[in-house]
Chain A
Amino acid sequence: MTDTTTNSQPRSVRRSRPVSSYLLRRPKLRLLALLALPMTWIIGVYIFSLFLLLITAFWNVDPFTSLVSPGFNLENFSLVLTNPSYIATSVRTLLIALTVTLVCIMFAVPLGIFMAKIARPWLRNTLAVAITLPLWAGYLVKIIAMRLVFTEEGFFNWAMSPIGVRGPGFSVPIVILTLTYLWFPYMALPVYTAIRQIPPNLFDASSDMGAKGFTTVWRVVIPLIVPAMIAGSVFTFSLSLGDYLAARFTGGATQMIGSIIAANINLNPPVAAAYSMVPITFVVIYLMVARRTGSLERM
């Protein structure tokens, strides 16, 4: 090849991009090409497999062999809605998930304010690493770690024995603590980012108008970070709702929705499928409420 050809080459290549120019004239095809991959994923893999699972909620199970056969009955749903133990578990799980979310918010807001507005850069970075560090450890490892800390002869009771305090043993409070520990980063990070993005002059303005620190936090900061809190709560709430290993290892006899689904998945898959509608319903309601506040648009 000579110099002249290489010089003129780029321009001619740019002009003759057959795919681009073909798509330019066909906007619908363009859209299709853009969405093909994500849609295959969402519909083909995600929704379809979920649908396959949920459809079995209407199926029958052989009373003796536990074999599942296609059919249509609503007995599994009526069992889920009438069994007192299932109802109690649904309510308990909902309360646990809400408490975990609240505790996460209570920890995340002061921490976020400190990191964004008060801490020096090196401390801010250290804290950011400290918050995200637990995400690197295995999920099961963290749960077992909490189990070891709170056993009768574990670290907590040992460390607290000089002041005569004893842990509550494996029970709902420890489950809440474990879940908070597991999901805290999902709340802390968006809240911290939101606080960092608040322009400093808003704080100046607030103080010029005579507001003290707490008033500023309450009247200026909190309203501005509500979307971040809701974004974080979507994670803390729905992840807590679906969890069952925390309850199994740190909850003693505590049952959560996931415990019942796990117990039924081999013995009676249709009941497990029917019962998995409960957390789905909770999350859908939660998302609808969150949408009403308008914060999902600003996520």
Chain B
Amino acid sequence: MRMKKHALLSAISAAALIVASCGGDGSADVEIQVPDIPMHQEMGEFEGELNIVNWSGFVEPAWTDKFTADTGCKVNPRVAGTSDEMVTLMRTGQYDIVSASGDAALRLIVGGDVQPLNIELIPNFSDDIAEGMKGNVYDTVNGKPYGVPIGRGANLLQYNDTVTGGAPESWDVVWELDSPYKGKITAYDAPIYIADAAVYLMYHKPELNIKNPYALDKDQLAAAIDLLKQQNQIIGEYWSDPVAQITSFVGGNTVVGTSWEVLRKFAAQDNLKTTLPKEGSTGWFDSWLVSSSTPNINCAYAWMDYTSRPEVNGAIAVNFGMAPANTAFCKSSEEAQAHCDTFFAEDEEFFKQVWPWTTPIETCVDGRKDVMCTSFQDWTNAWATVKG
């Protein structure tokens, strides 16, 4: 039901904002082939351990100790650096649960590596979860939820204010050959960055008819790749390692480029600022996904419920530097409200301009039926041709 309503909503907003992206979802009525895996029916005894693949900062003793005391499930975290590494780790079958971003989630779902969830067993997955994080196509397939939202963040344009003298209005400073910051531009180093090129093209080349940056047919992908190749001529550095990105901005090698709010905070320089340009942007929306072969299913459900509590979800969000999924956290204190405001946690208008990372698949997630869209493998191969 929620899906349908959402789809309708997105159709209306898409019609209203002809060029500006709608974000939040893009599910339309997309039917995706997934392996049939049964979901957990009722809670049983706790198994005593839980093996987690997670982003750095998601699993800390500050909140796992209480969880272990409550349930007896011992938490073994394994930090992964990229979405691709997360997928690889989950495929080993040695982990029970993963904090996947949307670009990893759909791959795991379609690959049969994770199982659909029984939301009734997760009471904290409630109305307080931010509207924009529910029912998105990256973790809700054919109406079945596979993920429990953790938090989200946008890929913002970070700039060195001393050099730029004000916020750039457009992403053109990182894409166009006549950029005044040529040679001092940074871009995210992963195939999913193709979507950022697509977002820019949606605004500036409406004739390409891109409706969703993750649903690109062959021609649209080729156009995005051309744009990325153009960018390659003016780029200073690609980043995948956050530390390298921070030192690059602080050291003056980079003036403008993709960043996360949390990286700006870590850089701790007054002249480094972030902005959301007029074209909108992409973002990462993270959820817990449970392995289809987990022997620790009850611990996994207990963990998802525990981390959906406002205070725990908030602690993770504050520690990592992102908008918490459970907005009830924002009301809990003044500090919490300040955090939520910094990261736009309750600002659905902001996140409407942000397209959540979604694995591109052959089924067009924008609802087109007459063409085949390019898959993530196509993106990976195309990405390999971008960097000279």
| Interface positions of A (Cβ within 8 A of B) | 61-67, 79, 83-86, 88-89, 147-148, 151-154, 169-170, 248-249, 252-253, 255, 260, 263-264, 266-268, 271
Residue of A at shortest CB range from B112? Answer: A65
Contact (A153, B251) CB under 8 Å given A86-B384, A253-B236, A255-B388: yes
Residues of B within 8 A of A67 (CB): 91, 111
CB distance from B293 to the nearest CB of A (A): 14
Given pairs A64-B359, A252-B236, 19 additional interface contacts (CB within 8 A): A63-B377, A64-B110, A64-B111, A65-B111, A67-B111, A79-B381, A86-B384, A89-B388, A148-B247, A148-B251, A151-B253, A153-B252, A169-B236, A249-B244, A253-B236, A253-B237, A263-B384, A266-B87, A267-B84
Chain A CB within 8 A of B142 CB: no
CB distance from B246 to the nearest CB of A (A): 11
CB distance from B55 to the nearest CB of A (A): 16
CB-based contact A85/B386 at 8 Å: yes
A-B pairs with beta carbons under 8 Å apart, 19 shown: A61-B377, A64-B361, A64-B377, A65-B107, A66-B377, A83-B384, A83-B385, A85-B388, A151-B247, A152-B251, A152-B252, A169-B253, A170-B236, A170-B253, A252-B237, A266-B88, A267-B191, A268-B377, A268-B380
The 9 closest A-B pairs by CB, nearest first: A151-B251, A152-B252, A65-B111, A266-B84, A63-B377, A153-B252, A267-B380, A252-B237, A253-B235
Which of A66, A85, A88, A260 is B376 in contact with, Cβ under 8 Å?
A66
* A63 vs B111: C-alpha distance when bound (angstroms): 11
* A252 vs B110: C-alpha distance when bound (angstroms): 36
Residue of B at shortest CB range from A80? Answer: B384
Chain B residues 82 to 112 lying within 8 A of chain A, measured CB to CB, are 82, 84-85, 87-88, 91, 107, 110-111
* A63 vs B235: C-alpha distance when bound (angstroms): 29
Contact (A85, B387) CB under 8 Å given A64-B375, A151-B247: yes
CB distance from A258 to the nearest CB of B (A): 13
Residue of B at shortest CB range from A64? Answer: B375
| Interface positions of B (Cβ within 8 A of A) | 82, 84-85, 87-88, 91, 107, 110-111, 113, 183, 189, 191, 232, 235-238, 241, 244, 247-248, 251-253, 359, 361-362, 375-378, 380-381, 384-388
* A128 vs B76: C-alpha distance when bound (angstroms): 47
* A86 vs B384: C-alpha distance when bound (angstroms): 8
Residues of B within 8 A of A151 (CB): 247-248, 251-253
CB-based contact A88/B377 at 8 Å: no
Contact (A65, B385) CB under 8 Å given A151-B251, A267-B84: no
Residues of A within 8 A of B113 (CB): 65
* A89 vs B241: C-alpha distance when bound (angstroms): 21
Residue of A at shortest CB range from B82? Answer: A266
Contact (A147, B247) CB under 8 Å given A63-B377, A64-B377, A255-B388: yes
CB distance from A53 to the nearest CB of B (A): 15
Which of B232, B253, B362, B388 is A152 in contact with, Cβ under 8 Å?
B253
CB distance from A143 to the nearest CB of B (A): 11
Residue of A at shortest CB range from B379? Answer: A267
Residue of A at shortest CB range from B253? Answer: A152
Summed over the interface, the residue pairs from A and B with CB atoms below 8 Å come to a total of 95
* A264 vs B380: C-alpha distance when bound (angstroms): 8
Which of B88, B107, B111, B238 is A253 in contact with, Cβ under 8 Å?
B238
CB distance from A77 to the nearest CB of B (A): 14
* A85 vs B385: C-alpha distance when bound (angstroms): 5
* A154 vs B250: C-alpha distance when bound (angstroms): 10
Residues of B within 8 A of A79 (CB): 381
* A235 vs B107: C-alpha distance when bound (angstroms): 41
* A248 vs B384: C-alpha distance when bound (angstroms): 16
CB distance from B105 to the nearest CB of A (A): 12
Residue of A at shortest CB range from B236? Answer: A252
Residue of A at shortest CB range from B387? Answer: A255
CB distance from B361 to the nearest CB of A (A): 6
CB-based contact B244/A248 at 8 Å: yes
Which of A64, A253, A260 is B232 in contact with, Cβ under 8 Å?
A253
CB distance from A107 to the nearest CB of B (A): 27
Residues of B within 8 A of A148 (CB): 247, 251
Residues of B within 8 A of A268 (CB): 377, 380-381
* A62 vs B386: C-alpha distance when bound (angstroms): 22
* A66 vs B252: C-alpha distance when bound (angstroms): 37
* A271 vs B189: C-alpha distance when bound (angstroms): 18
CB-based contact B244/A260 at 8 Å: no
Residue of B at shortest CB range from A267? Answer: B380
Residues of A within 8 A of B385 (CB): 83-85
* A152 vs B183: C-alpha distance when bound (angstroms): 12
Residue of A at shortest CB range from B252? Answer: A152
* A148 vs B251: C-alpha distance when bound (angstroms): 8
CB distance from B12 to the nearest CB of A (A): 31
* A151 vs B245: C-alpha distance when bound (angstroms): 12
* A252 vs B376: C-alpha distance when bound (angstroms): 26
* A178 vs B271: C-alpha distance when bound (angstroms): 30
Residues of A within 8 A of B380 (CB): 66, 264, 267-268
CB distance from B168 to the nearest CB of A (A): 20
Residue of A at shortest CB range from B361? Answer: A64
* A249 vs B247: C-alpha distance when bound (angstroms): 10
Residues of B within 8 A of A65 (CB): 107, 110-111, 113
Residue of B at shortest CB range from A157? Answer: B252
Residues of B within 8 A of A147 (CB): 244, 247
Residue of A at shortest CB range from B359? Answer: A64
CB distance from B221 to the nearest CB of A (A): 14
Residues of A within 8 A of B376 (CB): 63-64, 66
* A267 vs B362: C-alpha distance when bound (angstroms): 17
Residues of A within 8 A of B384 (CB): 83, 85-86, 260, 263-264, 271
CB distance from A145 to the nearest CB of B (A): 12
* A231 vs B238: C-alpha distance when bound (angstroms): 36
* A101 vs B359: C-alpha distance when bound (angstroms): 43
CB-based contact A63/B378 at 8 Å: yes
* A89 vs B359: C-alpha distance when bound (angstroms): 28
